[in-house]
């Protein structure tokens, strides 16, 4: 496994993010003209841009390292086994931490940065619709958004993001020593080029995933934390979709 320079590792992390930004801008505007939320535009972007680009890069680099063959063990070398009890003792708090950061801390910081900088972001570009807009959505639209959150964000997208950032790139920057997890978390945050106001929250979110992957030499905790957090978000959305929480309350 060849070690990457920080500059090259940063570039490889940002390539899928740049592809996402270009595609998302076009799709978000187009979806908005059809009355569809940016959330669905990002889901489509992940499927047509981020996932294919990430896997293409992993395949290309791994083939160079092996002399022409994609080898899963070479691509993702940090796969050490984890005792079952550590999934409960470490994995569960990791998911809860992710929910607190992404559901509480990040929205507040993101809103504060946009207001302090005077950044006027069009409503069609924001992933979090106004509560009144969310409450006005039809049941079928809420169902589509829930399915997208479950299949695309928590499943395909979350799995690919974690494998790429922590499973693939982090081991290739281990020459940075104890700074490797911090570098990885920061670059993962910057990867979200469509939401620079959320970078502080994303960096805090990714740091324990990166550190545990580096410490345990296993991407499994990162996968548990990342996918588990997204699954919890989907579960919360399902409470609205299936009527457990009246949607009209969201309008305040």
pLDDT at 12: 97
The 8 Å CB, 24+ separation contacts for 100-107 are 101/201, 101/204, 101/205, 102/201, 102/205, 102/229, 102/233, 103/233, 105/201, 105/204, 106/198, 106/200, 106/201, 106/202, 106/205, 107/201
pLDDT at 239: 79
Cβ count near 218 (within 10 Å): 20
pLDDT at 129: 55
Q: What is the dihedral of CA 50, 51, 52, 53, to 10 degrees?
A: 40
Q: Please, which residues bridge with residue 218 across strands?
A: 79
Let me know: does 23 contact 49? Beta carbons within 8 Å: yes
pLDDT at 104: 87
User: What residue spans define the domains of the chain?
Assistant: 6-251
Say how far apart CA 8 and CA 13 lie, in whole Å: 9
In the chain, which stretches have pLDDT less than 70? 128-135, 244-252
**DSSP track, 158-174:** HHHHHIIIIIIIGGGGG
Q: Which two tokens stand for residue 73?
A: 């063990």
Helix (H) or strand (E) holding 176: none
Q: Which two tokens stand for residue 21?
A: 């930004």
Say how far apart CA 213 and CA 207 lie, in whole Å: 10
pLDDT at 251: 45
Backbone angles phi, psi at 2, to 5 degrees: -80, 135
CA proximity to 69, closest of 81, 77, 57, 61: 61
Q: Which two tokens stand for residue 173?
A: 């920057």
pLDDT at 25: 95
Give the CA angle between residues 31, 34, 37 to the nearest 5°: 45
Q: Which two tokens stand for residue 5?
A: 């320079």
């Amino acid at each position: 496994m060849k070690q990457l320079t920080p500059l090259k590792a940063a570039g490889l992390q940002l390539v899928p993010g740049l592809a996402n930004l270009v595609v998302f801008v076009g799709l978000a505007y187009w979806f908005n003209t059809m009355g569809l939320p940016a959330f669905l535009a990002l889901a489509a972007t992940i499927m047509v841009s981020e996932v294919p680009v990430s896997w293409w890069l992993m395949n290309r680099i791994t083939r160079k390292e092996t002399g022409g063959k994609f080898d899963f063990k070479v691509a993702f070398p940090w796969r050490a086994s984890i005792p079952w009890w550590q999934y409960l003792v470490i994995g569960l708090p990791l998911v809860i931490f992710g929910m607190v950061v992404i559901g509480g801390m990040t929205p507040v910081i993101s809103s504060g940065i946009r207001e302090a900088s005077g950044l006027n972001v069009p409503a069609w570009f924001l992933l979090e619709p106004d509560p009144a807009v969310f409450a006005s959505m039809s049941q079928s639209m809420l169902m589509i958004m829930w399915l997208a959150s479950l299949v695309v964000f928590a499943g395909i997208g979350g799995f690919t993001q974690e494998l790429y950032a922590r499973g693939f790139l982090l081991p290739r920057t281990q020459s940075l020593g104890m700074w490797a997890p911090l570098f990885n978390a920061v670059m993962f945050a910057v990867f979200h080029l469509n939401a620079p106001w959320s970078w502080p929250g994303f960096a805090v979110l990714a740091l324990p995933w990166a550190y545990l992957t580096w410490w345990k030499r296993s991407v499994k905790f990162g996968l548990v934390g990342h996918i588990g957090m997204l699954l919890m978000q989907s579960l919360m959305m399902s409470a609205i979709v299936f009527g457990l929480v009246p949607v009209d309350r969201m309008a305040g």
